[in-house]
Each structure stands twice: as C-alpha cells, then as structure tokens.
Amino acid sequence: MMTDECIKREDARDLLEIALDDDWEIDYANDRFDEIPAADVRPVVRGKWILDERMVLAMLAGARAIEQNPRKYLGTIFVYEPFGINTKEITYCEAAKKLRETAEAALKGET
C-alpha cells in the first residue's frame, strides 16, 4: 500500500502567508512547499465484522439460553480478564441483550 505525504496545516499556512506577502511565482512556491517535512502516513482502513450464519445462530442460542433461565443468571456477572490485566465485566442479562441485538442486526444485513 502506498503512503501519502502529509504536512502540518500550520506549516502550510505559514508558507502561504509568506508567499502572498512576497508575491512569489507559483513554481517557486511549489518548490518551497516540497521542502516542508512530510509525515509518512497511511490512509485509515475501516473494517467490518463478517458474521456467518452459524455464528449468528450461536449468538441467538446463547441469548436464548440466558433469557430462558433468568433465575440462574439474574445478577450474575461475567468477568473477562486476559492475563489478569484490563479486566472487563458484563452481566449475563446484558450480554444476552447484546447478543440478540447483534444477531438480529446481522440477519437484517446491518453489520
């Protein structure tokens, strides 16, 4: 993938102000713009989840299992702690709701 050259707006504005004040010729101004240090950047690439039918069915099954056993899961919290760092928590009831919402959105083609 090719990288784009990006310069700071402030640097470009400063140079443009000087060019206008000093009445530079366009070729001279272009040469000066080329001298502004450029950052080596890549364009932003946005991803998209691809959920196949089996994954959606698994999500719906997980949601249903929790929803049909409210006594078992009410107030129960799932704790995710990879290697004991950056711990995250969610109640099982909230997880069921999110699973169902995501699966239904996938079925409608909204993911």
- Tens-place pLDDT, residues 16-40: 899 989 988 888 888 888 888 877 7
Provide the 10 A C-beta neighbour count for residue 103. Answer: 21
| pLDDT score, position 111 | 58
The whole-model pTM stands at: 0.49
What is the number of alpha carbons within 13 Å of residue 12 lying toward its C-beta? 8
Domain ranges of the chain: 4-41, 53-107
β-bridge mates for residue 77, sequence order: 91
Mean pLDDT for 36-48 is: 77
SS3 32: helix
Task: Give the model's pLDDT for residue 2.
Answer: 46
